[in-house]
Structure 1
């Protein structure tokens, strides 16, 4: 039995990770800015809910103190006026909390592209945090680098319904690995359960295989009885302007646009696919979830 601190338990990956760990006998300390967002876990055996400011290293350290391991991440703030400054502030607070708490094992949820700040946009802040974590002395750090989430395509449902196309700034033909968040959560839960890493290590998570946006669009289109659904690559500036119109800050929209360009240029296709980095869910599997959500709206 371990005491596990989890930051980001309200997110897609974090919430599924918690569900995978429930019932395994661990003590789970869940961190959120507001306690009500973790209400679904509050009455579960072995769960503690801690509400506080993730920029406050003293608060984070108080929760992490005495834990065997902490799962950390830098959540995306779509409204950040300066996304790089936001990422660095929260990242540095986590480093301080690790030092203050004396915790000896950390699992950090990064991303493919976390090996470099160049041409990676929103992921550049994760790359900087990876560097900080690797400099820590006496702390075993496991960095997970999952690829692009299949669930991101759920955000395109409105476009498909209203414009009758699927689209983004990513190339139509370039193949790129895709992963389901449930597969990420499964790996994280296994790692937090086993605590089998030492020193500093990195594990990419690349889904079942690589796909092009044309192929993804065909599979998703067939799942909603639209086999002729087509994919359109938007110009970078047009994609950025659309995000700003949706309410995303200029800084974050620019960072996402740079990420799309980096994907097209191959900066996110550097990880090696092997048995440890390959996960089971295919885009055909995910299409069932996509179709279900599509027909709910």
Structure 2
């Protein structure tokens, strides 16, 4: 039995990961910023540690005596200074890892995190990867995940009102996509081993073109022939801000779309042979998408 700390509360990854680790008999503590999540965490058989991932003292205390940490920084930390806030959370984790002496760290990162800039919110993960690499004596695995299937839930309103899907990248690029459950399964495996040094692993469930994604999701949602429409950067930015997304975050997503459009985001993934290790394919996710769409 290992003592394992899971960050990310009971989100898309954390809930599944916690369940897998508890089922395997491990002592699991889940970091959450919400006291209201305590009961749900305990119902899974884990303990709750309530505090901020930007607080190095809280994190150090939480990590004391742990065998392993799943380190995940929130994807949207505030409506302003989002990348800086994310990196500051990474700095707090790095400080806590160093002071607590936790020997094993599995970090959630992203496809495209090898670039210093031009990748939207992913550029914060680039900085955090480098922070963790500099921590002496730890065993570090960086999980670079693909584009989350669950991001397509944001397109439900567009499909309902405009009968299209789209973004500021074309429909004929190969997009590595991933289901959160596949990330959780890979993280659960990685947390139980302690290799030497640092390694990077890609976590991708499928590789599909947006044209095909729109077709598969459209068929599942009762919208056969649903097209993928490439937007201009200005159209994408306007659409996201009109939908209520903070302007800074919308701008970061536009920048990420540019990196997909320019094939920048997928370069290292493809250099490594475009590895697909997940089991949940697009057609599997389409069933969940259809349920969300009709709801």
Which residue number in structure 2 is paired with residue 242 of structure 1? Answer: 239
Which residue number in structure 2 is paired with residue 58 of structure 1? Answer: 57
> Aligned to 1:49, what secondary structure does the other structure show?
strand
User: Do the aligned partners of 1:240 and 1:257 also contact (CA within 8 Å) in 2?
Assistant: yes
User: Do the aligned partners of 2:141 and 2:190 also contact (CA within 8 Å) in 1?
Assistant: no
Which residue number in structure 1 is paired with residue 183 of structure 2? Answer: 184
Q: Deviations over 1:43-70 (max 9, x none)?
A: 343x210111211100001000100001
User: Do the aligned partners of 2:31 and 2:51 also contact (CA within 8 Å) in 1?
Assistant: yes
Which residue number in structure 1 is paired with residue 193 of structure 2? Answer: 195
Match of 1:216 among 190, 193, 213: 213
Q: CA deviation at 1:72?
A: 0.6
Q: For structure 1, which segment, 93-102 or 273-282, has the greater mean C-alpha deviation from structure 2 after superposition? A: 273-282
Which residue number in structure 1 is paired with residue 167 of structure 2? Answer: 168
User: Do the aligned partners of 2:82 and 2:249 also contact (CA within 8 Å) in 1?
Assistant: yes
Q: CA deviation at 1:274?
A: 5.5
Which residue number in structure 1 is paired with residue 101 of structure 2? Answer: 102
Q: Write the distance in 1 (CA, Å) between the matches of 2:38 and 2:182.
A: 22
User: Do the aligned partners of 1:218 and 1:227 also contact (CA within 8 Å) in 2?
Assistant: yes
User: Do the aligned partners of 1:7 and 1:14 also contact (CA within 8 Å) in 2?
Assistant: yes
Q: Write the distance in 2 (CA, Å) between the matches of 1:9 and 1:17.
A: 10
Pairing 1:204-283 to 2, within 5 Å after superposition: 204-208=202-206, 210-269=207-266, 270-272=268-270, 277-283=276-282
Change in CA separation of 1:275 and 1:196 when aligned onto 2, cut-off 3 Å = farther
Q: CA deviation at 1:7?
A: 0.8
Which residue number in structure 2 is paired with residue 14 of structure 1? Answer: 14
- Normalising by the residue count of structure 2, what TM-score does the alignment of the two structures yield? 0.94
How many residues are aligned here?
293
Change in CA separation of 1:44 and 1:150 when aligned onto 2, cut-off 3 Å = closer
Q: CA deviation at 1:41?
A: 2.1
Q: Deviations over 1:172-221 (max 9, x none)?
A: 111111111111111111222x224221111011223x211111011111
Change in CA separation of 1:251 and 1:223 when aligned onto 2, cut-off 3 Å = same
Pairing 1:22-37 to 2, within 5 Å after superposition: 22-37=22-37
Which residue number in structure 2 is paired with residue 40 of structure 1? Answer: 40
User: Do the aligned partners of 2:18 and 2:44 also contact (CA within 8 Å) in 1?
Assistant: no
Q: CA deviation at 1:78?
A: 6.0
Unaligned runs of 5+ residues in structure 2 are: none
Q: Deviations over 1:76-124 (max 9, x none)?
A: 2264311121112111111111111111111100000111123211100
- Normalising by the residue count of structure 1, what TM-score does the alignment of the two structures yield? 0.94
> Aligned to 2:105, what secondary structure does the other structure show?
strand
Which residue number in structure 2 is paired with residue 49 of structure 1? Answer: 48
> Aligned to 2:121, what secondary structure does the other structure show?
helix
Q: CA deviation at 1:166?
A: 1.1
Q: Write the distance in 1 (CA, Å) between the matches of 2:62 and 2:21.
A: 18
User: Do the aligned partners of 1:57 and 1:96 also contact (CA within 8 Å) in 2?
Assistant: yes
User: Do the aligned partners of 1:29 and 1:48 also contact (CA within 8 Å) in 2?
Assistant: yes
Note the aligned Cα RMSD (angstroms): 1.6
Q: Write the distance in 1 (CA, Å) between the matches of 2:283 and 2:237.
A: 29
Change in CA separation of 1:71 and 1:163 when aligned onto 2, cut-off 3 Å = same
> Aligned to 1:29, what secondary structure does the other structure show?
strand
- Deviant stretches of 4+, over 6 Å: none
Q: CA deviation at 1:11?
A: 1.6
Q: For structure 1, which segment, 283-292 or 123-132, has the greater mean C-alpha deviation from structure 2 after superposition? A: 283-292
